[in-house]
């Protein structure tokens, strides 16, 4: 009897705590939505600076969304800060990679850059896998991989129990395995590119990359606003970066901003 | 009374004496395995502490003429005439560094408030080859007698750092050489050197070279490491010191004499046999070279061409463009290949003198050893263009201390009008009105408007793969697969192993039979009761012993019980059970409810017993 009372009490406490957490989240989301609509109204009135501040205040609440980053990117675009605009579009892309409006705005903003980016040519398979990975968000890929994994394991279990069962399961296993392998690679690339590698955008009009992390070191090359670079390591306020055309140099940390701040 | 006073007095003296003895320093037994040694050889020092087992290894002070390393402790316990005593000995290895007579000790250590002191011993270090003769030296390197003057270990293994030039320019490529000199020592596990200092960058070390070099009449074995450095600051530059780690292999002197010539032949000996048979010891060495001071000058402002972009060295340029025949708006790949000696990191794309009428893209860069290739896409905007303008590449040549400008081109190209332009011309010819209308309509492009709804909110930095429930869920299919595997194995065994299957089926058959028998017992149906008892017994035994149920008679079962070594009392019970069933079939009315109850209980006992024994 005592045991039952303890279990029921624990369940009540657990449900209570969960609801409490959910209530807190819901409250935060409702506040954020209010600020979002207010920022949209300011944007429509042409008050881009105030709209940008309101959008950014939502991020300080600790929540984010693809549309929020998209609108923030638009606000920065209207303020003439193309680097920051691209940065926020890139962040939005992590949430809604298939959004056509976002793609259009990102392409258009990039086309306005004075110094277009040059990318090192990758081999066909890497390019294909990267293209597929660009099509999905990391969460989307997690769900796809998980579903494929479930299907594959259930099919294996079923065919183990029914060896003389329908051949359909054998095909399902083969297809499931191939798809899981492909999506595993795609997911791995996506994970590596978003969670391991630290990509950043140049947010100043230009920045000098030097041979060493020092003010008086020789300038190696120059990167311009909107350039997407990979941060390799850091030394105080300096960041060692690699550009898409594989040039490496040291740049001041204030000249760039990471796409994902982990 | 006098006697008591005498005893007290004697005791007081004894106690005082003990206190005096305690106040004295406790001795340490210092011993050496030899007192005469050659430079580079080792002496084993042992410090023994009597009546101690847990005293920590004392740290040795600096000993002139030697470099020390702790080897480890050894403890000893002895019982003599029933009296136990113990001691701990800490052993050290001392490497002889220079010739002369040196004193080892006295040492003094404090432990648990007690002061331990050792005596001192003198050791003589002689020059290389003096103790064991010159046999080894003469057999390997015919070195003149002057070489004997060089004695200390620092002279027998050392590191040097050198640069090709002390006065250099910013970004100039300067070869750096680090050499490890070794004179008749066994060295292994040589690491790549580390170069300290600031204000420069350097390449990775190339594969080291190994050769012999004579220096002050001594022939050294040399390992040479090469790289290039580039100064990034002007002014005084401190380069180094270069540091290198390696292990010195020291042979055990006690076995050396007999085996000297046989095992000491290889220079960078891997000492495999030496380690295995305990004839050598490893001593880690940290070698450091002297520091270099360089004078770095800024590149001169005089004669600096406007095209100069920081390239320093001596370069050659090849330029090519493909295709040379194209339509306006089509891309041309302009390839500039730069070869030569110098800092390729400072080499940037050669500049086109004029970029009018061309749309220029950033170049793609490919760097290889001593080659840098720039592939730049340029798009002619008009069909009036006849050539790609002159391409200039400027660099500073430190050898001639002046700037050099290389000019390539112009490259002639043939540009025809683009398809787009032709279409426009046809359109224009159709209607002047339409053209006028088209020119008045201003077309442009802007970003797509903001989103009205915030979309799905998410906690910042939260991804599905970090969600514990999601991760936990991924274990489900794995668990399911393991369970399926177990079930499948069991099913397979049931299908193939009939004996096992019947054994598993036996208790189920027994349970059902007993349940029915109980029902008949309660309704007092004697015949039916015994029929089911008989049937259950036969079926159970058949399954239990994997035999046909029909053939299960009391005699057969008795034999089976005997063959399995089961109890005889159970055989008797079985026999009784069978006979009761026989009686019931012919004279059921003679058996009462008590007998039925007994039969049921004994059947239950038989089954329980056989099930227990099965396990």
pLDDT in tens, B300-357: 888 888 888 888 888 888 888 888 888 777 778 888 888 888 888 778 888 777 667 7
Are residues A120 and B364, on separate chains, in Cβ contact within 8 Å?
yes
Q: Which residues of B touch A210 (CB under 8 A)?
A: 232
Phi then psi dihedrals of residue B50, to 5 deg: -80, 150
Residue in chain B closest to A100 (alpha carbons) equals B448
**Average pLDDT over all residues of chain A:** 85
Place of tokens 């002279």: B155
Chain segment B110-131, per-residue pLDDT in tens: 877 778 888 888 888 887 777 7
Chain B residues close to A138, C-beta within 8 Å: 463-465
- The residue of chain B with its CA nearest to that of A71 is B450
Q: Check whether B141 has a pLDDT greater than 50.
A: no
- A218 with B361: Cβ contact below 8 A: no
What's the confidence (pLDDT) of residue B253?
54
Q: Whole-angstrom Cα distance, residue A80 to residue B456?
A: 28
- What's the rounded Cα separation, in Å, for the pair B610 and B521? 23
Residue A141, phi then psi, degrees to nearest 5: -65, -35
Mean pLDDT, range A34-47, rounded to an integer: 92
Question: Which residue did the predictor score with more confidence, A96 or B140?
Answer: A96
The residue of A72, A218, A262 whose CB has the most chain B CBs within 10 angstroms, and thus the best one to mutate to test that interface, is A218
pLDDT at position A25: 61
**B485 vs A160: CB contact, 8 Å cut-off?**
yes
The H-assigned helical ranges of B146-305 are 153-156, 253-263, 272-276
Q: Which residue of B has its CA nearest to A246?
A: B365
Tell me, what's the pLDDT at A66? 93
Per-residue pLDDT, averaged over B74-86, amounts to: 69
Q: How confident is the model at residue B84 (pLDDT cuts 50, 70, 90)?
A: low
User: For tokens 């105080």, what's the residue?
Assistant: A236
Residues pairing with A251 in the sheet: A239
Q: Say yes or no to pLDDT of A52 above 90.
A: yes
Q: A160 vs B488: CB contact, 8 Å cut-off?
A: yes
Residues of A in contact with B476 (CB under 8 A): 150
pLDDT at A3: 63
Confidence tier at A116 by pLDDT (50, 70, 90): low
Tokens representing residue B385 in the block:
């263009």
Question: What count of other Cβ atoms lies within 10 Å of the Cβ of residue A172?
Answer: 18
Give kind and range of the element (H or E) at residue A92.
Answer: helix A82-95
Least confident range from A32-36, A130-134, B223-227: namely A130-134
Domain A199-258 has CATH 3.40.630.30: no
- Backbone phi, psi, residue B335, to 5°: -105, 125
At which residue do the structure tokens 């017994």 appear?
A: B537
Buried b (16+ CB within 10 A) or exposed e, B237-262: bebbbbbbebbbbbbbbeebeeebee
Q: If you measure CA to CA, which chain A residue comes closest to B374?
A: A245
Nearest CA in chain B to A67: B454
* Cis geometry, peptide bond prior to residue B106 (ω within 30 degrees of 0): yes
% of chain A at pLDDT higher than 90: 39
Tell me the average pLDDT across A37-58: 93
CA dist B137 → B124, B133, B142, B439 (Å): 21, 9, 7, 97
Residue B166 has which token pair?
């002390």
Residues of A in contact with B481 (CB under 8 A): 153, 156-157, 160
Nearest to B409 by CA among B425, B392, B432, B433: B392
pLDDT number for residue A54: 93
B362 → closest Cβ in A115, A142, A218? A115
For the whole model, what pTM was predicted?
0.43
Cross-chain residue pair B455–A95, CB shorter than 8 Å: yes
Answer yes or no: is pLDDT of B439 > 80. no
Answer left, alpha or beta for residue B370, where phi above 0 means left and psi between -120 and 50 means alpha.
left
Cβ atoms < 10 Å from Cβ of B45: 26
- Specify whether the CB–CB gap between B478 and B484 falls below 8 A: no
Closest residue, chain A, to B492 (C-alpha):
A161
Q: Report the residue from B348, B447, B458 with minimal CB separation from A105.
A: B447
CA B115/CA B107 separation, integer angstroms: 10
CB-CB under 8 Å, B478 with A153: yes
Q: Is the dihedral of CA A56, A60, A61, A66 positive or negative?
A: positive
Close Cβ partners of B261 (under 8 Å, ≥ 6 residues apart): B135, B136, B139
Q: Identify which has the larger pLDDT, B163 or B570.
A: B163
Please give the average per-residue pLDDT across B191-210, as a whole number.
83
Q: Count A/B contacts: CB-CB distance under 8 Å.
A: 138
Alpha carbon distance, N-terminus to C-terminus of chain A? 48
Please report, in angstroms and rounded to a whole number, the separation of the first and last CA atoms in chain B.
85
A58-97 residue pLDDT tens: 998 889 999 999 999 999 999 999 899 999 999 999 899 9
Distance of alpha carbon A29 from alpha carbon B610, whole angstroms: 69
Kindly indicate the confidence band of residue A181, based on its pLDDT and cuts at 50, 70 and 90. Answer: very high
Q: What is the pLDDT of residue B10?
A: 56
- Position A148 scores a pLDDT of 92
Nearest-neighbour CA in chain B from A178: distance (Å): 18
Q: Which of A73, A114, A211, A222 to mutate to test the interface with B (most CBs of B within 10 A)?
A: A211
pLDDT at B25 over 90: no
Between B25 and A16, residue with greater pLDDT:
B25
Provide the shortest C-alpha distance from residue A6 to chain B (in Å): 24
Alpha-carbon gap, residue A84 to A202, rounded angstroms: 8
Rounded mean pLDDT, B15-44: 69
pLDDT of residue A13: 59
Output the CA torsion sign for B19, B24, B25, B28: negative
pLDDT class of B386 with cuts at 50, 70, 90: confident
Q: Is the ipTM of this complex over 0.90?
A: no
Q: Which residue of B has its CA nearest to A75?
A: B450
* Minimum Cα–Cα distance from B483: chain A residue: A157
Contacts A121 to B, Cβ<8 Å: 364
Write the residue in A65, A104, A109 that is nearest to B457 by C-beta. A65
Q: What's the whole-number average pLDDT of chain B?
A: 77
Helix/strand/coil for B466: helix
Report yes or no: B509 and B539 within 8 Å, Cβ to Cβ.
yes
The partner residue sitting opposite A247, judged by closest CB among B365, B485, B491, is: B365
Q: A138 and B463 in contact by Cβ < 8 A?
A: yes
Domains observed in chain B: 23-126 (2.60.40), 137-295 (no CATH), 307-416 (2.60.40), 496-614 (1.20.120)
Q: B449 vs A68: CB contact, 8 Å cut-off?
A: no
Taking contacts as CB-CB distances below 8 angstroms, the residues of chain A near B456 are 65-66
What local confidence, expressed as pLDDT, does residue A89 receive?
94
3-state helix, strand, coil in chain B (%, to 5): 35, 35, 30
Mean pLDDT of B588-605: 80
- A 10 A CB-CB count for A222 gives 15
- Predicted confidence (pLDDT) per residue in B498-525, tens digit: 888 888 888 888 899 989 989 888 888 8
Are the beta carbons of B236 and B299 closer than 8 angstroms? Answer: no
DSSP B240-261: --EEEEEEEEEE-HHHHHHHHH
Q: What is the mean pLDDT of residues B411-421?
A: 72
Residues B450, A33: C-beta atoms closer than 8 Å: no
Q: Among residues of chain B, what percentage have pLDDT more than 90?
A: 2
pLDDT at A50 over 90: yes
Between B195 and A46, the more confident residue is A46
Cis peptide upstream of residue B410 (ω within 30 degrees of 0) = yes
Q: Which residues of B touch A70 (CB under 8 A)?
A: 450-451
Q: Are B354 and B388 in contact (CB under 8 A)?
A: no
Q: How far is A33 from chain B (nearest CA, A)?
A: 6
The CATH homologous superfamily to which domain A2-111 belongs is: Tetratricopeptide repeat domain (1.25.40.10)
pLDDT at residue B248 is higher than 50: yes
Q: How far apart are CA A164 and CA B485, in angstroms?
A: 16
In whole angstroms, what separates CA B482 from the centre of its chain? 33
Minimum mean pLDDT range among A137-146, A202-211, B265-274, B371-380: B265-274
Spell A116-134 as b/e; 16+ CB within 10 A means b.
bbbeeeeeeeeeebeebbb
Contact B232 A211 (CB under 8 A): yes
More confident residue, B557 or A68: A68
pLDDT at B430 over 60: no
Say whether the peptide bond before residue B421 is cis (omega within 30 degrees of 0): no
B104, HSE (Cβ side, Cα atoms, 13 Å): 28
pLDDT given for residue B132 in this prediction: 61
Average pLDDT of the segment spanning B44-69? 81
For B532-572, give the DSSP string. Answer: HHHHHHHHHHHHHTTS-GGG--HHHHHHHHHHTT--HHHHH
CB-nearest partner of A71 from B451, B481, B491: B451
Distance CA B589, CA B582 (A): 13
Q: Do A156 and B481 touch (CB under 8 A)?
A: yes
Range of lowest pLDDT (B1-10, B276-285, B451-460): B1-10
The residue-averaged pLDDT of B532-549 equals 85
């Amino acid at each position: 009897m005592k045991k039952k009372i303890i279990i029921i009490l624990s369940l009540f406490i657990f449900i209570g705590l969960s609801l409490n957490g959910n209530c807190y989240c819901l409250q935060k989301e409702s506040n954020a939505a209010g600020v979002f609509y207010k920022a949209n109204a300011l944007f429509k009135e042409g008050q881009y600076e105030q709209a940008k501040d309101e959008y950014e205040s939502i991020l300080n609440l600790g929540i984010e969304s693809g549309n929020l980053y998209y609108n923030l990117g638009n606000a920065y675009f209207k303020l003439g800060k193309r680097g920051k605009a691209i940065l926020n579009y890139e962040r939005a892309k992590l949430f809604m990679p298939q959004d056509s409006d976002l793609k259009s705005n990102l392409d258009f903003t990039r086309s306005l850059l004075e110094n277009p980016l040059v990318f090192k040519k990758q081999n066909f398979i890497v390019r294909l896998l990267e293209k597929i990975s660009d099509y999905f968000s990391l969460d989307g890929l997690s769900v796809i991989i998980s579903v494929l994994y479930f299907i594959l394991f259930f099919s294996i279990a079923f065919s183990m129990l029914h060896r003389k069962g329908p051949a359909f399961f054998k095909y399902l296993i083969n297809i499931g395995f191939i798809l899981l392998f492909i999506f595993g690679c795609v997911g791995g690339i996506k994970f590596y590119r978003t969670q391991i590698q630290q990509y950043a955008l140049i947010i100043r009009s230009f920045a000098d990359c030097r041979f060493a992390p020092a003010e008086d070191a020789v300038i190696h090359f120059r990167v311009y606003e909107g350039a997407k670079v990979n941060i390799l390591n850091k030394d105080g306020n300096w960041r060692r970066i690699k550009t898409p055309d594989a040039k490496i140099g040291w740049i001041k940390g204030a000249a760039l901003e990471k796409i994902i701040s982990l | 009374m006098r006697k008591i006073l005498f005893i007290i007095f004697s005791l007081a003296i004894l106690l005082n004496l003990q206190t005096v003895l305690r106040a004295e320093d406790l001795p340490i037994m210092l011993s050496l395995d030899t007192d005469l040694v050659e430079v580079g050889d080792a002496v084993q020092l042992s410090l023994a502490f009597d009546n101690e087992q847990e005293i920590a290894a004392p740290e040795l002070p600096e000993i002139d003429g030697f470099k020390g390393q702790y080897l480890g402790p050894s403890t000893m316990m002895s019982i003599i005439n029933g009296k136990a005593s113990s001691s701990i000995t800490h052993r050290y290895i001392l490497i002889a560094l220079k010739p002369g007579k040196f004193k080892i000790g006295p040492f003094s250590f404090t432990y648990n408030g007690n002061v331990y002191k050792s005596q001192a011993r003198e050791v003589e270090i002689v020059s290389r080859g003096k103790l064991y003769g010159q046999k080894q030296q003469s057999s390997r390197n015919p070195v003149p007698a002057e070489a004997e003057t060089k004695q200390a270990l620092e002279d027998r293994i050392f590191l040097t750092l050198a640069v090709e030039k002390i006065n250099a320019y910013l970004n100039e490529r300067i070869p750096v050489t680090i050499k490890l000199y070794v004179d008749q020592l066994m060295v292994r596990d040589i690491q790549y050197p580390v170069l300290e200092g600031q204000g420069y960058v350097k390449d990775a070390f190339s594969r080291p070279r190994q050769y012999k070099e004579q220096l002050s009449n001594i022939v050294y074995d040399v390992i040479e490491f090469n790289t290039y450095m580039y100064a990034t600051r002007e002014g005084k530059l401190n380069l180094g010191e270069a540091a290198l780690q390696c292990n010195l292999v020291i042979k055990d002197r006690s076995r050396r004499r007999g085996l000297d010539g046989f095992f000491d032949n290889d220079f960078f000996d891997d000492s495999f046999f030496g380690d295995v048979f305990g004839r050598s010891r490893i001593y880690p060495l940290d070698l450091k070279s002297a520091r270099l001071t360089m004078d770095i000058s800024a590149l001169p402002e005089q004669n600096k061409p406007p095209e100069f972009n920081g390239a320093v060295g001596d370069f050659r340029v090849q330029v090519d463009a493909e295709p040379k025949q194209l339509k306006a708006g089509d891309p041309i790949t302009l390839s500039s290949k730069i070869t030569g000696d110098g800092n390729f990191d400072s080499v940037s794309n050669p500049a086109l003198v004029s970029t009018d009428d061309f749309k220029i893209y950033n170049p793609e860069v490919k760097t290889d050893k001593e080659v840098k290739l720039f592939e730049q896409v340029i798009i002619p905007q008009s069909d009036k263009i006849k050539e790609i303008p002159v391409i200039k590449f400027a660099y500073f040549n430190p050898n001639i201390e002046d700037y050099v400008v290389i000019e390539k081109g112009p490259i002639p190209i043939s540009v025809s009008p683009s398809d787009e332009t032709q279409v426009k011309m046809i359109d224009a010819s159709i209607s002047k009105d339409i053209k006028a209308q088209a020119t008045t309509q201003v077309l442009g492009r802007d970003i797509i408007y903001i989103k009205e709804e915030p979309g799905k909110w998410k906690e910042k930095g939260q991804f599905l793969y970090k969600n514990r429930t999601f991760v936990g869920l991924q274990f489900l299919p794995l668990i399911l697969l393991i369970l399926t595997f177990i079930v499948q194995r069991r099913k397979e065994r049931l299908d193939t192993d009939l004996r096992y299957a019947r054994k598993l089926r036996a208790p189920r058959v027994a349970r059902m039979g007993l349940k029915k028998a109980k029902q008949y017992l309660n309704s007092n149906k004697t015949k039916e009761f015994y029929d089911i008892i008989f049937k259950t017994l036969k079926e159970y035994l058949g399954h239990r012993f994997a035999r046909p149920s029909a053939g299960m008679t009391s005699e057969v079962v008795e034999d089976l019980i005997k063959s399995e070594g089961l109890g005889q009392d159970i055989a008797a019970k079985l026999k009784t059970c069978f006979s009761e069933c026989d009686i019931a079939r012919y004279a059921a009315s003679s058996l009462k409810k008590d007998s039925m109850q007994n039969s049921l209980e004994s059947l239950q006992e038989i089954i329980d017993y056989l099930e227990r024994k099965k396990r």
